[in-house]
Structures are given as structure tokens and as C-alpha cells.
Structure 1
Amino acid sequence: MPEVTVVIATRNRRASLERTLHALHAHPAPPAVIVVDNCSADGTPDMVAGSFPQARVLALGRNAGAVARNHGVAAATTPYVAFADDDSWWAPGALTRAARHLDDAPRLALIAARTLVGPAERLDPMSAFMVQAPLGVADDLPGPSVLGFLACAAVVRREPFLACGGFDPVVFFMGEEARVALDLRTGGHGLAYCNDVVAYHHPSPDVGDGTAKRLLALRNGVLTAWMRRPARVAVAETARLLRAAGADPAARRAAVQLLQRLPGALVRRNPVPADVERELRTLAAMEAAAGYSTAPH
């Protein structure tokens, strides 16, 4: 598959990553794979080098969070890059279909895949929302327009992704997709949900702290607002978090971390144009009506 490289960022998830690499290398035409290791202490780079010599390993000297993926994209030599996590992988044929869509649609810069979760292959809630085409379907795109994606199940056109800066260190992890999506859309690129491009996501039920994830979502939603939303929206989001901090320990921790990271967000502040902001408001209204949220935006 000469047009697509799979980039996987990982940290201390050796067993899970091994399963993902086995799944990718079982494809009839295995894709090129770059594993970016976020300073793991469990021997992940050695495992990849020993068991999957076809894969390239970039071992970082520190945990770079989501920014690790940028290193993989920069190292790729193909025009398109598919992201996977150490607990997700692509269905056979999915990347061929993604490359065909990108070949046929010059404006298309990102494909959000249909994501099937767990052994039961349950449709991810974000996929279920996107397939409803809340932003319509543009004539020059292969599926419904979107303003978000799951980083474990997306294919990007390499050059626009790098040009917009990729994932940034301000949010670090959790909700890191939001600013990338907004910047691609602001740059005139298309983002589309493609139902025929399928990814599998098998998150471990015993990995991850729900409170910690909620804290990161709260913090990063406000940081993203300061980077890309109108001041009134950023102020309102900040005030909402501060009100929640009065009774919620996780919100208090999020507020403290927000203050620590806010200078970095303000340095990167560049509000989206009015048409993109209108699309965000449209999405927010439809998500509220459906009882679902793709936040943080």
C-alpha cells in the first residue's frame, strides 16, 4: 500500500500494541507502519524491533502525548497517513478505500472512519452521530462533512496536517483532535466521514481513570476554546468550569491545570472565521438535542 503509512503513538502498552501490529500485518497487503514510543518503560521499542522488523520505531526521550504522532507523520514518506492507537487497527481494505477517496477528492484532508468498538463491534457514538450528516454532504467530498474525528481512527493528507501544526502540546492528550479539525477546516480543506473506511477499537476495560479523563476533557475543552473560539465563548466556557470547581474536585484540578496551561493557549490564539463558528454552534445544538456531545470542541 504505497500511498498510506500507519502511525501509532504508544506508551507502556506493549501487549496491546503487539495485538494491533499483528492485526495490521495480517492484511493481504500490509501497510507501512511507524510506531512512535512515548518513552515507555516496558520494553516496547525492543518488542517492535524484534517481532515486527517491518515496522519503523521512533523512540522518544520523553512522553510527548499526542504530539508524538507528529513525529511519525513527519517521518512518513507517503502522501497519506492513517492514525491508530495501540488498541485500534484498520480493517483489511480500509486504507485502500481511504486512499482512493483522497485521490479522487483534492480538497479532502481528513477522513473520519466508521469505528467499531470491542468484540461486539458496536458502532462508536461519534460515528453514529456523524453518519447523520449534521453539517450536510458537500458535492466534492465522499461523505458527510465533519468538524471532529477520533485520532485512533482517522486518515489525513500528510501535507495539510503538518502545515496546520498537527497536534499541539497545550492540550497534550484527550480532545487533541479538536484544534486540528478546526484548523484544517479554516484552511479551506474538507473533512468527511466515510462509512466504508472501517477501524476497530478495542479499549481495555481496566485501563484508564474515568475521573482523570473527565478532568482532561474539561481542561482541554476550555483550552481549545481560548485557542480558536470567540472571546465570549472562551470566557463562558471558563466561567462554567470555575462554577463546577466549587463542588467538583475534578473540576478544581482542571481549573488549576487550566491556569498553568493558559499562557500557551493564548500564544496560539487564532479564532476561527464566522462560518466555521456557525458550524460549531449548529453541531452543539444538534448534539444537545440528541443527548450526545463530541466535545471538547
Structure 2
Amino acid sequence: MPDSRRADGPDGRTTVVVITRNRRESLLRTLDHLAALPERPPVIVVDNGSTDGTVDAVRAHPSGARLLVPGRNTGAVGRNLAVRQASTPYVAFSDDDSWWEPGSLKAAAALFDTHPRLGLLAARTVVEPDGADDRINAPLAHSPLPNRADLPGTPVLGFLGCAATVRRSAFLAAGGYHPLLFFGAEETLLAYDLTAAGWGVVYEPSLVAHHGPDPEPRPGRTVALRRNALLTAWLRRPLPVALRETAGLLAEWAHGEPDAGPALREALVRMPAAVRRRRPLPAWVEAQIGLLEKDVRGGPDR
């Protein structure tokens, strides 16, 4: 049954996890937003090796956020560390430049309570300061995957890391974020693994996360995305797909595409580990990926 507690009152079912590195001022603004939520969620911050005073600033912040200091940059795996430390059944993720709409965490918890097969909820993301829809919302909302009677929202195989809530037990059972990817489109592999384990991964636009990204360029971002797309193929996709993705990146490198070479080099360093950890997805999950890829190739303005 849905939770009957007031939508504007405290709620103890969801912990918010934030990973950060050298973004002190942005992180403090995020903590201000999270502390003002009516749900009053516990917050765990993982510092990925900051050198700008972030650790002291978090300890002094009135939110009372719990701080984990692994002593190095753990990348997305920092989220795994925090989820293991959480004591609530559900976990929401924020980045150090994002926060949740008041009431969304309680609404998400009610959906998890009501749908026992639900593993992950991808929220609608609005970009600040203008409040415009993030460009990821449209492809998630128009996912071609068939609806499921036992799940809310729209089934998807991807999400934005700073706008998702998870069932803690499902996240941990699936292994969380894969250490080989570090950062960059690491969400796709987690969505695959949750789905393969039988958990529902859905987009639910009634839940809202706010994202205020730094407008400055992010050096190396495109390289990381392309590296991790190739590694994900080798970790989970059929061998012909992995070989096709490799050949495609090699062809782009041969034609002088500037990011292809660095992406290949970084992927090759990790390739032996990817092959050792290779675990192809079930055929029915691969069929769902095929639907999405067909939709992207044939759909309008994807």
C-alpha cells in the first residue's frame, strides 16, 4: 500500500548520497538545498580527494551530513561506498551541483514501497538557473520499451546519475557502479545489470531533480564517454557487438577524429580486466537494447 504519511513531513526511508571533488562552494549550496527538504533525509558525502578545503567545510556545515574520506579519488565507486554505509531501504543520488525537489524523495519511497520489483527510479531533470528540461528527459520519456503492469513509469535502460533513486538492496546485489569505468556514462552498465537481475528500471517524470552544472568545459569528458561505451560493450554485450564497437572507434581514429585515439588507449589499458570480468547479458535484455538502438537510428531527432 502507498505510504499515508503527510507529503510535506519528515521521512526516514531515503538517504541522499553525494560524491564530490574540489567543488566546495557548489557542494555547500547543494547541502543547503538538501537540508531544506521537508523529508529531512540523512546525507552522506564522499570526498574524492579534494584539496580545496571541502572536508573541513562539510564537517562545519549545519546540515550534519556524514562524511566519508577514502583518501583518494574513487570516481563513481564512491557512491558504492556510501550506499554500503546507508541504513535506509532507499538511496537517492545527488552530485555536488544537484539537489531534489521538495516531496520527490517521499514520492519515490512510496513508489518503492508499492512496487516490490522496482529497483531504480530515474527522475525528470531540470537545469538551473532557467529550470529548462534536461535533454535526457525526452529520450527517457519516449523509450520504446514496453510498459510493465507491476511497475510505474516508463521502462528505460539508462538514467542520469544525479537524478536517480534506488532500492538499496537491489543496487548492492547488482554490484553498484562498476570500478572499471570510473566516470563517464557509468549509469548504462548499472541499468543493464539491474535489469538482468530482474529489477525494474523506470523513468518517472513526477519526480524532479534540479541540476546546476558548471558552464565551464569538462576536459576529457568525451574521451571518458567513448572509452566507457567500448568497455561496456566488452563487459556485457555479445562478442559481435563488442568487435563492431571496437572497429568503429578504430576507424574514427584512422580518420583523425581527435577523441578516438585517447579513448582507444584508455580502453586498451583496461581491456584485459574487462575481458576477465565479461558477463554477457541475457538474450531478453539484449533484445531490449536492440529496441532502443533501433529507435535511436530510426526515430526523429534523437
TM-score of the pair, normalised by structure 1? 0.95
Q: 201, 204, 220: which is aligned to 2:228?
A: 220
Q: Deviations over 1:157-214 (max 9, x none)?
A: 00111111111121110111111111110001111111111001110101512xx211
Any idea what SS the aligned residue of 2:155 has?
A: coil
Aligned to 2:149: 139
CA separation in 2, counterparts of 1:207 and 1:9?
A: 20
Q: 205, 225, 229: which is aligned to 2:237?
A: 229
Any idea what SS the aligned residue of 1:249 has?
A: coil
CA separation in 2, counterparts of 1:29 and 1:220?
A: 35
Equivalent residues in 2 for 1:113-152, closer than 5 Å? 113-152=123-162
Q: Deviations over 1:77-108 (max 9, x none)?
A: 00000000001100000000000000000000
Counterpart AA for 1:75: Q
Counterpart AA for 1:17: L
Equivalent residues in 2 for 1:140-289, closer than 5 Å? 140-209=150-219, 212-246=220-254, 247-289=256-298
Stretches (4+) displaced over 4 A: none
Query: Sequence identity, in percent?
Result: 48
Any idea what SS the aligned residue of 1:9 has?
A: strand
CA separation in 2, counterparts of 1:249 and 1:267?
A: 29
CA separation in 2, counterparts of 1:291 and 1:265?
A: 34
Q: 1:108 to 1:241 in 2, by over 3 A?
A: same
CA separation in 2, counterparts of 1:292 and 1:251?
A: 24
Counterpart AA for 1:284: E
RMSD: 1.2
Shift of 1:249: 2.7
Unpaired stretches in structure 2, ≥5 consecutive residues: 1-10
Any idea what SS the aligned residue of 2:191 has?
A: helix
Which deviates the most, 106-115 or 25-34? 25-34
Q: 1:280 to 1:88 in 2, by over 3 A?
A: same
Shift of 1:286: 1.0
Any idea what SS the aligned residue of 2:76 has?
A: helix
Which deviates the most, 172-181 or 122-131? 122-131
Unpaired stretches in structure 1, ≥5 consecutive residues: none
Residues 1:72 and 2:82 are matched in the alignment: yes
Shift of 1:292: 6.0
Which deviates the most, 282-291 or 188-197? 282-291
Any idea what SS the aligned residue of 2:291 has?
A: helix
Q: Deviations over 1:208-247 (max 9, x none)?
A: 12xx211111110000000000000000000101111121
Residues 1:85 and 2:85 are matched in the alignment: no
CA separation in 2, counterparts of 1:136 and 1:45?
A: 45
Counterpart AA for 1:228: R
Counterpart AA for 1:34: I
CA separation in 1, counterparts of 2:73 and 2:300?
A: 35
Q: Is contact 2:31-2:63 (8 Å) kept?
A: no
Q: 108, 115, 119: which is aligned to 1:98?
A: 108
